[in-house]
Amino acid sequence: MRDLSYNAVMARKNEIMKKAIGIDYSAFESGGISFDYERMMCEAGYSLQEIQKIQESVSVGNTPLIELKNISALSRKYAPKGNGARIFIKDEACNPSGSFKARRAATAVYHAKRLGYKGVIAATSGNYGAAVASQAAMQGLKCIIVQECFDSSMTGQPEILEKQRACEAYGAEVVQLTVGPELFYVFLSLLEETGYFNASLYTPFGIAGVETLGYELSLQAMARLGKFPDKVVITHAGGGNVTGTARGLLKAGAKNTEVVAASVDLSGLHMASDKAFNRKSFTTGHTGFGIPFATWPDRADVPRNAARPLRYMDRYTLVKQGEVFFMTEALALLEGLERGPAGNTSLTAAFCIAQQMKEDEIIVVQETEYTGAGKHPLPQLSFAKKNGIELKIGDPECEIPGTNIILPKDPSLIKARDFDLLKAKHSYVKNCIGSLNSKHITMKDLEFIVEDTKSDQKTILGFLNEMDIKVL
């Protein structure tokens, strides 16, 4: 009999993960901070053409690129003369499970079936659970989704409860937990007990599944407009959306397209806090995931995370909760498209950024998602009010996460606030050094950090000198 205590299971996590993923991550390690990222993506993943065929076989991808003519016109009202880029969205709500996560899930579930696993397990409270459940149903595999759903009073967040409904509709078993460290323990225990595949968000084949999204939108823009997008705005949480899309852009040849990440500003709310859990109105695409995963991607449920957003970000912007609710309504009322909150996060940033661009430039909001039930603004705002959050109309700049939600009284008040990427890169280097527990690194480590942060050696050496770290 195996010891099923928390400490014993956590001590076996590497062994459990290796059996549940089928990747020997040690093959890519250098023994220090660095590892061979591109080799891992190549050898443990699939080619773009292979993934396109996998996705096509299950009706994933080839979603439309839609111009938001009315929202573009509204944006131009607040732009300087001659400014106001054309805003487009890639309508990923057209995928079988209603979000871009179907691209990741299609590859992961296909891979699980190919390797002979009888079922798949994913730990997620978001759209990915529904995507995995949908793809498992198509492939005839069992599926378990583990959710962090409740606070200690057993009050569930409405958006997460909607995801439970979606997962169960596709035939998955849903295991719901309270916020805290038990999530990873239960996840590992289920992997070990069932022998199912870990359909992690962060495997090479999962991230490679998103490459088709960046690739498609690039070619659609070129075919329709005769040019690649000038900017692509991507909602950022765990980093897979940014990483996969950016890699797809590069594979399409869109090397000059600026990659802009966007998150909802939930500063001051700790995501692992029981008290804060239900005081937020967004369960993904916010700074509680966006900043930690940017500054330390290897906090994931795999030994090495294939989602490495700092490698690809050119800009990182933050928007407020009230602004996203406003743009969600604007999209429905002005464009006749009722879509969910995650994609509307990047739409909110794009609405503002477009005003800083020329009229003949193109900005693409890289994804949408389905809405309904707990994902809709009305239940979210009602839930916020029940939890003591003040709802106001005014200037979103005065919004305090966990205290109030301020809907803008005028579209001119919507802002895309730049987060200091240099600060994020400094934190990343600090985390690298902390994981190594040494006063020196190798030249190979230095080169890896430079690539992993999209930096130059001078900047990284400056950080290392501050930390009294030598390069051998």
The predicted structure's pLDDT at residue 436: 86
SS3 assignment, position 357 = coil
Specify the amino acid at residue 351: F
The per-residue b/e assignment along 147-177, b for 16 or more CB within 10 angstroms, e otherwise, is bbbbbeeeebbbbbbbbbebbeebebebbbb
Each domain of the chain, given as residue ranges in start order, spans: 58-98+205-418, 421-471
pLDDT tens per residue, range 408-437: 999 999 999 999 999 999 999 999 999 888
**CATH class for the domain made up of 58-98+205-418:** alpha beta
Which residue from 215, 224, 260, 217 is spatially nearest to 242, judged by alpha carbons? 260
Q: Is the distance from CB of 245 to CB of 265 less than 8 angstroms?
A: no
Query: Alpha-carbon torsion 436, 433, 25, 108, what sign?
Result: positive
pLDDT bin (cut points 50, 70, 90) of residue 182 is: confident
Local structure of 178: helix, strand or coil: strand
Alpha-carbon distance 433 to 429, whole Å? 6
> Tell me, what's the pLDDT at 43?
87
> What whole-number percentage of the chain has pLDDT above 90?
88
Question: What are the tens digits of pLDDT across the range 442-471?
Answer: 999 999 999 999 999 999 999 999 999 999
Query: Are the beta carbons of 282 and 266 closer than 8 angstroms?
Result: yes
Q: What pLDDT score does 373 carry?
A: 87
Distance CA 29, CA 37 (A): 9
